[in-house]
Chain A
Amino acid sequence: MSSGDGAFVIRRILVDVDASQASIGVLETAAALAAGWHAELSGIFVEDINLLRLAGLPFARELAWSSAAEVNLDYQRMERVLRGRATHARQAVISVTTQLKLRGSLQIVRGHVAEELLQAARGVDLVILGKGGPAPGNRIGAVERRIAEEAPCSVLLVSQDAIRRRGPIMVSFAGQEHERYLLSAAVQVARFERHALLVMIPSDNEADYKRLCHQARQLLEEESWSATYQAVKAPDRRFYQRLIREEEVAVLVLDGMREKAVDLENVLATLDCSVLLVR
C-alpha cells in the first residue's frame, strides 16, 4: 500500500489479542473497522516466549499490580495460563466475527511478541493493537514501539483511555499531495466509528488558511463528508496535547512514513489518544 494513489483501502486487518479486558476493547474496535471496510479480520495471540522462560527460572515470582501479592511462577502454570487466555481470545474473535458477519481467524503462535506480530503483519493492510493499560510503566512499551516503527503497513494504536471517547478524529492538512491519503483514512475511520472530523490547517495567514480549507473541503466532498477546520500556527507537542484534551480527540491520524522514529516514540508516549499511522 502506498500513499498518493487516492483512497485509503484496507482489505486485511491484523489485531493483537492477548485476551485481557483491554484487548477485548481493541478487538471490538478492530471488528467495527473491518466491518466498515469489508475487510478480513485476522487475530493473533502470541504466547510470549519470554514469559515462559521467566516462569522456568527458579526464583521466578510475580507481583500482582493491584494487590502486591506474590505468586510463585512455574513453567506448567504459565503454559496453562497462556492456554486459557488463548481459548478466551478465540472465543472473543468468534463472537465478534459472528456478530458482525466478518471473515475472521485467530492464529496462536509462540515466540517474541514484537517479532511474531511483525511477521504476521506482512501481507496485511492495517495492524491494530492496544496502547497503555491498567498498569503503568508501559504507556508505550517496547512491542508497540517496534510495531509502530517497523510494521510495513498502517498501524492503529488504540488508547485504553480514549477507547470510549466520542470526540472527533483529528488530522492535519497542509495541502501536500500525500496528505490527501491521510484525509481519506481519517474520513473512513470517522465514518465507520461515527465520529466528527477535525482538520488542522497549519497556516501563517488568512489567505493560506482559506485556500487550504477550500482544498480540504473539495476533497471531503468527494468522500461525501464534512469537517470542522482549525487554523494552527507552528504547532508543537504541547499544543497538540492541550487540543487533544480539550476537544477529547478520539483518534489522531499521522503520516507513518514521514514521522521520524524518535518523534514517533515521543508522540506515542505523550499524546493521550488513539493514533493511526498511515502508510
Chain B
Amino acid sequence: MTMDQALKPWQLNRRCDPEQLPFATTAELPDLTEIIGQDRALEALRFGISIANSGFNIYALGPSGIGKHTLVTQLLAEPAQRRSPPSDWCYVNNFDDPRRPRAMALPPGRGRVLRDDMARLIEDLKTAIPAAFESNEYRARAQEIEEEFKEKQEKAIAELQHQAQEKTIDLIRTPSGFAFAPTRNGEVLSPEEFERLPEKEQEGISKTVAQLQEKLRAVIRQVPQWRQESRDKLRALNREVAISAAEHPIHGLREKYADLPQVVTYLDATQEDIIANIDDFRQREEPQPSLLALAGDHAPSFRRYEVNVLVDRGSTPGVPVLYEDNPTFQNLAGGLEHVAMMGALLTDFTLIKAGALHRANGGYLLLDARKVLTQPFAWEALKRALRSREMRIESVERLLSLASTVSLEPEPIPLDVKVVILGDRLLYYLLCEYDPDFADLFKVAADFEDTLERTPESQQRFAQLIATIARKNQLIPFKRDAVARVIEHSSRMSGDTAKLSTHLRGVADLLHEADYFARAAAAQTVDTVHVQQAIEAQERRSGRLKEQVQDAMQRGAILITTGGAVTGQVNGLSVIELGGYAFGIPHRITARVRLGEGEVIDIEREVELGGPLHSKGVLILSGYLGAHYSPDMPLSLSASLVSEQSYGQVEGDSASSAELYALLSALSGIPVKQSLAVTGSVNQQGEIQAIGGVNEKIEGFFDVCKRRGLTGEQGVLIPAANVQNLMLRSDVVEAAEQGLFHVFPVATVDQGIALLTGIPAGEPDEDGAYPENSLNGSVQARLKEMAALRQAYAEHGKDKEVL
C-alpha cells in the first residue's frame, strides 16, 4: 500500500481557524440584524409581502428548524407596524331575520365602545321604561282607558236596564249571564202569577223580553270590539310612553355614531324592536331565557340587543400578524357555539366565534402546512375563503349535513389577508402536483436554503448569529474557540467542508447544551471543551444502537475482519439513520464465481431485500465486466453477490464499488486486504462516483478498528469527489496524524483494486489485453478460461446438463 496516496490529516477536517474570528467572546459582537444565507427566500418573501394582488400568498418551504417562522415574523413586523389597523368587526342581531345576523365594520376600537354603549343603553332602558310605565301619568291614562271601556259597558247595560224597567221588566244576573224577567215590586213574577195575567199582557211581555234580549245581544256583541279599541288605545299609549322613554338615550347614541351609517341604521332597527317588545322591559326582572328565547323568534330576552365584537383592533397598533398553532376548521374559519337547552342545541349571533382568519383579517396569517393539511376540512375552508375573499361562518356538522340543529347564516365578512404557509418541500411539491387551486392561491414560493457558503465573511456572520442566539436566550458568552468549534460542527451538519448549515434549531440546541456544560463547570464563558462535551453528549444520547452493533462486531456476532487478506471478500460501508441520528457501520460483502451464462446475481434482489438503486448498482457491474475484460467473447460466468448478515432492506448504490472489488478478487483469486473498507458507487466506465454520508461511514469503520486496536494499516477508500465533504471527528484526524488510520481518495476502479490488493491493476495494450501479472490480467485470463470451457461444453451439446 502506498500511504502517500492517503489524504493528509488537514484534508480530513476543514478547521475553522479562531484567528480568523476577530473577537474574544461573543459578548463583544453586535446582534445580527439580517438573515444569513437566505437571500433567495428573503427576496421572495419581500416580494410576496409587498404585492397586494390577491392570490399572492406565500409558501415558505424548507426543512423544519431552519428558522422560517422567525424570518417570516421578523420580515412582517415592520410592514405590520407601518400599516394602519384594520376595522373592528361585530355581529349584531338582524331584527328582520334573526337567522341571518348582520356583520358591521367599525373603526378600530369602536366595536368595543358600541358593545358597551348598547349594554348601558339596555341597562338604562330596563330602569327608564318601567319607571315611565309606573309614573302617575301613565297609570292615570291607562286607568282612564280601562275606565272608559268599563263605562261603555256599564252605560249600555244601564241604558238597557232603564228601558226594561220602564216596562216593569228587570235585567237579572244569572249564573253565567243575563236574562230579562217581568217584575212586580222588585220581585220576579212567578210562573203562576204570569199565567194569571191576561193573555194579551203575557204576549206583550214576551215580545218586550224578546226585543230587550235582542238589544242585549247587540250590546254583548259590541263588547269585544270595545275591548279591542281599548287594547289598541292602550297599545298606542304604551308605544307613546316607550318612545318617549327610549328616544332620548338612543338619540344620544345616534349622534355619537352619526359618522357610521350602518350603526345608525342598526340603532333605528333596535329602537323599533324595543318599542315593539316594550313588555320585556316592563318586567322588573330579567326574563328567564326560554326555549324560544334563543331561537330569537318570540324572544323575551335582552341578548338580542348585545353586540358580539368578533374582532377588536382597538388595543393593538398596526395590522395583525397571527400564527395559528392549531388550525382546526373552527379555529381557522370561526364557528357557532351552541348551548344545550331542554335537550336541544340552540345558538344565536352572540355565540358566533371568530377564527384565525377573522383575527388576522387586514394583516397576515401564518400557518403550518402540515397542521392545516392534517386538520379535517381546514385546508378546504382556507382555500374557499381565499378564493371568495370572504369569510362565512359554517359549522362542520352542517357542511356534512350531520346535524340539523337550530343554526344561523351570519352575513359573510370581506377577507383581505396575506397567508404565509410554512412547510417542508415535499408538501409544497405534492400540493403543486395534486391541488389545482394551490398554484392560483399561493403564487409566491420562498425557498429556504439548507446551507450557505463557508467563507471568512459568512463565518464572521455566523459568529454574530451565535452571539445573537446566546444573548436572546441568556446564555453565557462563547469564546471564539468555542465559536470556531460550533462553526466546524455546523459545517459537518451540512455535510460539506465548504458550507455551513442553516439549520438554526440545531445550532441553538448545541449552544444551549454547551452553555449547560459550561455552567456545570462554573465557567464564565463557554469554551471549546464545553462545545465538544455537548457534541459528544448528543452522540452518546443517540448512540445506543450504534454501540450495540459495534459490540456485536467486537464479540464476533457480526463478522467483520480488520486485518489480513481474503479472496472475494470486501468491507463495505453503510449508513443507518434513525430518529435524526446517522451512523456508519462496516458490513461484509462477498462474491462467488463459477461458470455460467454471464449473469451477476444479486442475492439481496433475489430475496427482495434490495431496493431498486442497489439492484441498479449491481447490474452495472455486468456491464463493466463485459466491456472491460471480454468485449469479444461471451461473458461466461455466474457470479453471486451478497451483503452478509444483512437482515433488512438494503438501498443505495454506494456499495457497488465494494461489490465490484469483491467480484474482481473472486475472479482473479487475489485476496483483498481486510484492513480497508470501501465506499463509492461505480459506473460502467469504472469511475468511482460520489456518495452520501461519507463522514459517518469513515467514522463507523474507524470505531471498529479503534476498539480492536489501530494497526496503521487500516483505512477507508472513498470516492475522490467526496473529499470536499470530509469533516471528520477529531479522534479520526488525530489517528491520521499519527499514521494509524488512512483515508484514500479513489477516482477509478483500477486505483481502488490496486490499493486493496497491493497488485497493480494493469493497463490494456492495443488489443485490449492486460499484462499477465496484473490484476486485470488475471481477471481477463480467468474469464477467457471460462469462455473456452463453456464453448467446449457447448460443442459437446452438454451445456444444459452441465449448467
Residues in A neighbouring B173, C-beta threshold 8 A: 135, 137-138, 141
Asked whether, in the complex, the Cβ of A64 is within 8 Å of the Cβ of B153, the reply is no
A63 near B: Cβ within 8 Å?
Answer: yes
* Most B CB within 10 A of own CB, among A20, A59, A85, A245: A59
CB nearest neighbor in A for B180: A61
Give the residues from 49 to 103 in chain A that come closer than 8 angstroms, CB to CB, to chain B: 49-51, 53-54, 56-66, 68, 70-71, 73, 75, 81, 85
B177 near A: Cβ within 8 Å?
Answer: yes
Asked whether, in the complex, the Cβ of B150 is within 8 Å of the Cβ of A136, the reply is yes
Residues in A neighbouring B190, C-beta threshold 8 A: 53, 56
Specify which of B143, B158, B220 is in contact with A65 (CB 8 Å cutoff).
B220
Give the residues from 189 to 211 in chain B that come closer than 8 angstroms, CB to CB, to chain A: 189-191, 194, 205-206, 209-210
Interface 0/1 of B706-727, CB less than 8 Å to A: 0000000000000000000000
- A273 → chain B, closest Cβ, in Å? 13
CB nearest neighbor in A for B149: A136
B40 near A: Cβ within 8 Å?
Answer: no
Interface size, B (range): 35 or more
Asked whether, in the complex, the Cβ of A50 is within 8 Å of the Cβ of B213, the reply is no
- Known A-B contacts A63-B216, A136-B153, A136-B154; A68 and B175 likewise in contact (beta carbons under 8 Å): no
CB nearest neighbor in A for B193: A53
A122 near B: Cβ within 8 Å?
Answer: no
- B76 → chain A, closest Cβ, in Å? 67
Asked whether, in the complex, the Cβ of B213 is within 8 Å of the Cβ of A20, the reply is no
B187 near A: Cβ within 8 Å?
Answer: yes
Asked whether, in the complex, the Cβ of B175 is within 8 Å of the Cβ of A137, the reply is no
Specify which of B136, B175, B182, B217 is in contact with A63 (CB 8 Å cutoff).
B217
Specify which of B158, B205, B213 is in contact with A137 (CB 8 Å cutoff).
B158
Residues in A neighbouring B178, C-beta threshold 8 A: 62-63, 65, 135, 137
Asked whether, in the complex, the Cβ of B213 is within 8 Å of the Cβ of A61, the reply is yes
Q: Roughly how many angstroms separate A59 CA and B205 CA in the complex, as a whole number?
A: 9
B176 near A: Cβ within 8 Å?
Answer: yes
B221 near A: Cβ within 8 Å?
Answer: yes
Residues in B neighbouring A60, C-beta threshold 8 A: 179, 181
- Known A-B contacts A59-B209, A70-B213; A51 and B174 likewise in contact (beta carbons under 8 Å): yes
Residues in B neighbouring A66, C-beta threshold 8 A: 176-177
Residues in B neighbouring A57, C-beta threshold 8 A: 181-182, 189, 191, 194
- Known A-B contacts A59-B205, A64-B177; A54 and B213 likewise in contact (beta carbons under 8 Å): no
Q: Roughly how many angstroms separate A139 CA and B147 CA in the complex, as a whole number?
A: 12
Asked whether, in the complex, the Cβ of B217 is within 8 Å of the Cβ of A50, the reply is no
- Known A-B contacts A135-B173, A136-B154; A63 and B179 likewise in contact (beta carbons under 8 Å): yes
B613 near A: Cβ within 8 Å?
Answer: no
* Most A CB within 10 A of own CB, among B139, B213, B220: B220
- B703 → chain A, closest Cβ, in Å? 98
Asked whether, in the complex, the Cβ of A245 is within 8 Å of the Cβ of B140, the reply is yes
Residues in A neighbouring B176, C-beta threshold 8 A: 62, 64-66
State the interface size on chain A (CB cutoff 8 A).
34
- Known A-B contacts A63-B220, A68-B220, A137-B154; A20 and B175 likewise in contact (beta carbons under 8 Å): yes
CB nearest neighbor in B for A132: B150
A246 near B: Cβ within 8 Å?
Answer: yes
Specify which of B175, B188, B191 is in contact with A81 (CB 8 Å cutoff).
B175
Interface contacts (Cβ under 8 Å), in number, total: 97
Give the residues from 126 to 143 in chain B that come closer than 8 angstroms, CB to CB, to chain A: 136, 139-140, 143
A194 near B: Cβ within 8 Å?
Answer: no
Residues in B neighbouring A70, C-beta threshold 8 A: 213, 217
CB nearest neighbor in A for B203: A59
Q: Roughly how many angstroms separate A54 CA and B174 CA in the complex, as a whole number?
A: 10
CB nearest neighbor in B for A69: B177
A11 near B: Cβ within 8 Å?
Answer: no
- B474 → chain A, closest Cβ, in Å? 72
Q: Roughly how many angstroms separate A58 CA and B202 CA in the complex, as a whole number?
A: 10
Q: Roughly how many angstroms separate A137 CA and B155 CA in the complex, as a whole number?
A: 8
Q: Roughly how many angstroms separate A142 CA and B429 CA in the complex, as a whole number?
A: 101
Asked whether, in the complex, the Cβ of B139 is within 8 Å of the Cβ of A54, the reply is no
Asked whether, in the complex, the Cβ of A58 is within 8 Å of the Cβ of B220, the reply is no
CB nearest neighbor in A for B136: A246
Q: Roughly how many angstroms separate A58 CA and B206 CA in the complex, as a whole number?
A: 8
Asked whether, in the complex, the Cβ of B177 is within 8 Å of the Cβ of A137, the reply is no
Specify which of A53, A64, A112, A136 is in contact with B181 (CB 8 Å cutoff).
A53
CB nearest neighbor in A for B170: A50
Residues in B neighbouring A59, C-beta threshold 8 A: 205-206, 209-210
Residues in A neighbouring B533, C-beta threshold 8 A: none
Q: Roughly how many angstroms separate A75 CA and B191 CA in the complex, as a whole number?
A: 10
Give the residues from 528 to 553 in chain B that come closer than 8 angstroms, CB to CB, to chain A: none
Q: Roughly how many angstroms separate A262 CA and B161 CA in the complex, as a whole number?
A: 21
- Known A-B contacts A59-B205, A70-B213, A112-B187; A50 and B172 likewise in contact (beta carbons under 8 Å): yes
- A247 → chain B, closest Cβ, in Å? 11
B291 near A: Cβ within 8 Å?
Answer: no
Q: Roughly how many angstroms separate A120 CA and B136 CA in the complex, as a whole number?
A: 43
Asked whether, in the complex, the Cβ of A137 is within 8 Å of the Cβ of B139, the reply is no
- B364 → chain A, closest Cβ, in Å? 64
- B365 → chain A, closest Cβ, in Å? 61
Q: Roughly how many angstroms separate A246 CA and B150 CA in the complex, as a whole number?
A: 19
Q: Roughly how many angstroms separate A70 CA and B220 CA in the complex, as a whole number?
A: 11
Asked whether, in the complex, the Cβ of B139 is within 8 Å of the Cβ of A245, the reply is yes
Asked whether, in the complex, the Cβ of A136 is within 8 Å of the Cβ of B175, the reply is no
Q: Roughly how many angstroms separate A253 CA and B480 CA in the complex, as a whole number?
A: 106
Q: Roughly how many angstroms separate A137 CA and B178 CA in the complex, as a whole number?
A: 10
Residues in A neighbouring B189, C-beta threshold 8 A: 53, 57
B58 near A: Cβ within 8 Å?
Answer: no
Interface 0/1 of A25-69, CB less than 8 Å to B: 000000000000000000000000111011011111111111010
- A59 → chain B, closest Cβ, in Å? 4
Q: Roughly how many angstroms separate A49 CA and B171 CA in the complex, as a whole number?
A: 15
B566 near A: Cβ within 8 Å?
Answer: no
CB nearest neighbor in A for B216: A63
Asked whether, in the complex, the Cβ of A53 is within 8 Å of the Cβ of B191, the reply is yes
Interface 0/1 of A133-172, CB less than 8 Å to B: 0011111010000000000000000000000000000000
B441 near A: Cβ within 8 Å?
Answer: no
B27 near A: Cβ within 8 Å?
Answer: no
Q: Roughly how many angstroms separate A242 CA and B210 CA in the complex, as a whole number?
A: 42
CB nearest neighbor in B for A142: B186
* Most A CB within 10 A of own CB, among B176, B194, B205, B220: B176
Residues in B neighbouring A64, C-beta threshold 8 A: 176-177
Asked whether, in the complex, the Cβ of B139 is within 8 Å of the Cβ of A73, the reply is no
Q: Roughly how many angstroms separate A179 CA and B210 CA in the complex, as a whole number?
A: 52
Specify which of A81, A85, A137 is in contact with B171 (CB 8 Å cutoff).
A137
B157 near A: Cβ within 8 Å?
Answer: yes
Asked whether, in the complex, the Cβ of A73 is within 8 Å of the Cβ of B179, the reply is yes
Residues in A neighbouring B157, C-beta threshold 8 A: 136-137
Asked whether, in the complex, the Cβ of B140 is within 8 Å of the Cβ of A62, the reply is no
CB nearest neighbor in B for A18: B175
Residues in A neighbouring B172, C-beta threshold 8 A: 50-51, 54
- Known A-B contacts A136-B157, A245-B139; A63 and B181 likewise in contact (beta carbons under 8 Å): no
Q: Roughly how many angstroms separate A135 CA and B172 CA in the complex, as a whole number?
A: 12
Residues in B neighbouring A135, C-beta threshold 8 A: 173, 177-178
Instruction: List 11 additional A-B contacts (Cβ < 8 Å) besides A53-B188, A61-B180.
Output: A50-B172, A53-B181, A58-B191, A62-B174, A62-B179, A63-B179, A65-B178, A68-B221, A136-B150, A136-B154, A136-B157
User: Which B residues lie at the A interface, using CB under 8 A?
Assistant: 136, 139-140, 143, 150, 153-154, 157-158, 161, 171-182, 187-191, 194, 205-206, 209-210, 213, 216-217, 220-221
Give 25 CB contacts A-B under 8 Å: A50-B181, A51-B172, A53-B181, A53-B189, A53-B190, A57-B191, A57-B194, A63-B177, A63-B178, A63-B179, A63-B217, A64-B176, A66-B176, A68-B220, A70-B213, A75-B191, A85-B175, A136-B153, A137-B153, A137-B154, A137-B157, A139-B154, A242-B140, A245-B139, A245-B140
User: Which A residues lie at the B interface, using CB under 8 A?
Assistant: 20, 49-51, 53-54, 56-66, 68, 70-71, 73, 75, 81, 85, 112, 135-139, 141, 242, 245-246
The 9 closest A-B pairs by CB, nearest first: A137-B157, A56-B191, A136-B153, A68-B220, A64-B177, A50-B188, A53-B188, A54-B181, A59-B206
